[in-house]
Amino acid sequence: AQSVTQLDSQVPVFEEAPVELRCNYSSSVSVYLFWYVQYPNQGLQLLLKYLSGSTLVKGINGFEAEFNKSQTSFHLRKPSVHISDTAEYFCAVSETSRGSTLGRLYFGRGTQLTVWP
């Protein structure tokens, strides 16, 4: 089965600092990649996704991610964070052509980003 690893369970940063949240996956087949954000007591909201084309993907709220096929990674970055970015972030992978599991997303365990003033 597909495996998604978020290397950091918690990332504390100060406001206006840059941040990178790391994500690696295990699939050797073609994939779609996603980052979701979850604010307290809410469902997940899509931040950005990679389906094909340019490996640098821009999302909402100033976030971007880069797909690296050789390293099977999809790290999320923001050059300057705000306190309002405090939330949990989930990386997810979907295989594009795998039979009965087509459409299923495999999630990492999440990274809690805390932005301090």
Partner 1 sequence: DVKVTQSSRYLVKRTGEKVFLECVQDMDHENMFWYRQDPGLGLRLIYFSYDVKMKEKGDIPEGYSVSREKKERFSLILESASTNQTSMYLCASSVRDRGYEQYFGPGTRLTVT
Site residues (CB under 8 A) for partner 1? 9, 32, 34, 36, 41-46, 49, 51, 90, 92, 94, 100, 102-105, 107-110
At closest approach, how far in Å is the CB of 56 from partner 1? Answer: 17
User: Which of residues 82 and 109 has its CB atom nearest to partner 1 in the complex?
Assistant: 109
Distances (CA, A) of 44 to 47, 57, 89: 9, 19, 9
At closest approach, how far in Å is the CB of 116 from partner 1? Answer: 21
Looking at residue 71, the DSSP 8-state letter turns out to be T
Distances (CA, A) of 47 to 30, 65, 75, 101: 21, 10, 13, 23
User: Which of residues 13 and 105 has its CB atom nearest to partner 1 in the complex?
Assistant: 105
